[in-house]
Structure formats: structure tokens, C-alpha cells
Amino acid sequence: MALMVVKFDLKKRVKLAQTVWFMYWFAVLAGILVLSLGLFFKIELRKRSELMDNNESHFLPNVLIIMGLVACAINAFGGKVCYDSLDPTKFVKWKPMLKTFLVLCVVFNALLFATALLCFVMRIPLQFTLAEGLKNGMKYYKDTDTPGRCYMKRTLDLMQMEFRCCGNDNYRDWFEIQWVSNRYLDFSAKEVKDRIGSNVDGQYLMDGVPFSCCNPTSPRPCIQQQMTNNSAHYSYDHHTEELNVWKRGCSDALLSYYGGIMNTIGALVLLVTMLEVAVTVGLQYVHSSLSTLANPEDMESESEGYLLEKTVKETFTDIMTKMKAMGKGAKVEEGAAEPVATVS
């Protein structure tokens, strides 16, 4: 017994085909939206690619771009089929391939739904990518003369000012690395010698941060050097003083920014998935209503449209039976392909 049967006459079939045709072209625009979101997200990631630990972060935008392109192609084809369904002489050429196309649409809808879920799930690996990438990037902050790293200082400074953050987890991360280039250090000075000599790795470490960590809204002039030395500043206690540098870590700030983009994209892709499911259901009703005409030669005769030709249980059983048959057929072919041993 067919599932969700609806009776159609010519007028209803025409109205259905026109409605689904309109929805398909709206779905084409939705496909362009998914493609645009993928391109936008890819561009945003590329802006700070130096701060990413690997290229895996571009997996999601690449998937969005591919899904957007496929959506445009599938929906354009579906729209053409709905348009031609109004003319029996044109529709007859599409009829043999419609079942295959509908199966393809179902698979695509499942993949689109999985893509939407990826937008929410990929936040976790992105968190580790940003944390590790920022940690490595901060080590190269001082290497303004090294090819391939000369822009790292500029990238980190602009990021800290734009996202109002400092360091990886917090501003103290800058205390643990040498962020001033050796070319700007006076190695004859006692302070420089003492700092380098007291460090196992021979690095010039200090309790200071780059200027880009300063909060311009603070009423006090920025204290970015000797931040833990109370005697170096008048009326200052770093334990109780409200520091005038950004306290938020940049990995958290970037994760919040990219996470917000991913959540928005995920929600939009879910809406597009719902639209894709709707047009697939609509096309199935167009196809089934034209396949069950009481009199195929009379387009004005009544027909029945349905979502599934059988019940859900029967349909699932048929699919499993076909899959098992395909599996057995593959095994038989493999057995026939094995060479037969001959006795000499």
C-alpha cells in the first residue's frame, strides 16, 4: 500500500508542477547561498592562515563550496523536469531517469544535513588548531627579517587589536617567549646579559607584552613593560591593579568569532536542507501522479500521487534485499575471476 496518497486531477497536477518548479529555482538561489557561505568562510580563514596549525580547517568551507555547486546543478535539473512535466511529449524523455534522480536527491539531502551538523561539530578541532597555531605564531613574532615569517608580527598585532585579546590563553603567555628581536637588544647592557644568562635556552624573557595588547579605553597610560614590578610604576600593584591590557586570550576570541560564523552557517544549511527535502517530496508527487494516470493517453484523467510506493517497512525491506543481492553478485564475480589451478 502506498504511503501518503493524494488524488490529483489535471488542474491540481498543473498547480503542483508550477509550485515545485518555483520552489526549485528558489532552491537554486539557496545553493548559491551555500556556495557563498563556503567562499566567505574560506576567505575569513585565509586571513589568518598563518595562525592555523594545519590546512584541515579548510575542510568545512571546501565541503560547503562543493555542496553549493551540486545543489545548483541538481535544483536546476529538477526545475527543468517540473517545467517539462506540463507537456507530456517533453516529459516522456525524463521519465525513465526520474527514479534514479530522486534517489540521488535523497542521498544529497542526507549529505547536506551531515554538512550542517559538521558546522556545529568542527568547532572542537578548530579549537585545538587555533591554540596550537597561535602558540607557534607567537614564537615567530620577533622574526621580522625571516622569509615566510616577516609578516607574523603584523598579523598578531592586528589580530590582538581587532579582537581585543592578548596572548594565546592570556597576556602572561608573552612572558614565556622572547618576542623582541635580537637586533633590537643591546648585548653590552647588564640587564640584557642577566636576562639571557638566567634563561636555560638563552632567550631574552621579560614580564612585558606587545603594544597591541594595550586597552585604549583604560584611563591610565598603558603599562606593557615590567608588569609584575610594582616599584617600576607609581601607585601600582599588579596583584590588585586593574591592568590596562586585554585579559582575554586570542584563542578564545578567535574561537568565539569563527564558532559564531559556523553556527550561523549551520543553521542556514539546515534551512536549505529543509527546502531541498520539500522540493524532493514535491518532485516525487509530480512523478507518481503522472505515472498513475487512469488513462495515460488522456492528461485530464485523474491520478494518485504518493510519497512512497509501499510502506516504510516494505520499502526498507526491499532496499536491504537489493543490497544483499548486489553483495552476493559481487562475491560471485570475484569467485569467477579467480584463476583455476591446473595439474601438470
Q: What is the pLDDT of residue 90?
A: 82
Reported pTM: 0.83
Burial code (b: 16+ CB inside 10 Å, e: under 16) for 172-211 equals: bbbeebbbbeeeebeeeeeebeebbeeeeeebbbbbbbbe
Does residue 42 belong to any structural domain of this protein?
yes
Range of the domain at 64: 3-138+252-310
Helix, strand, coil % over all residues of the chain, rounded to 5 = 65, 5, 35
Does residue 278 belong to any structural domain of this protein?
yes
Does residue 116 belong to any structural domain of this protein?
yes
Most confident region among 20-24, 49-53, 200-204, 225-229 by mean pLDDT:
20-24
Q: Write down the mean pLDDT value for the chain.
A: 85
Does residue 315 belong to any structural domain of this protein?
no
Does residue 100 belong to any structural domain of this protein?
yes
Going by C-beta distance under 8 Å and a sequence separation of 6 or more, which residues neighbour residue 230?
236, 237, 238
SS3 321: helix
In this structure, of 141-145, 156-160, 255-259, 266-270, the range with the lowest mean pLDDT score is 141-145
Cell of 114: 551531515
Does residue 15 belong to any structural domain of this protein?
yes
Q: DSSP secondary-structure letter at 245?
A: B
Going by C-beta distance under 8 Å and a sequence separation of 6 or more, which residues neighbour residue 223?
233, 236, 243, 244, 245
214-232 pLDDT per residue, tens: 998 888 888 888 888 888 8
| Number of structural domains found in the chain | 1
Measure the CA angle with vertex 265, ends 263 and 266; round to 5°: 60
Does residue 297 belong to any structural domain of this protein?
yes
Cell of 224: 606593557
Does residue 53 belong to any structural domain of this protein?
yes
257-266 pLDDT per residue, tens: 999 999 999 9
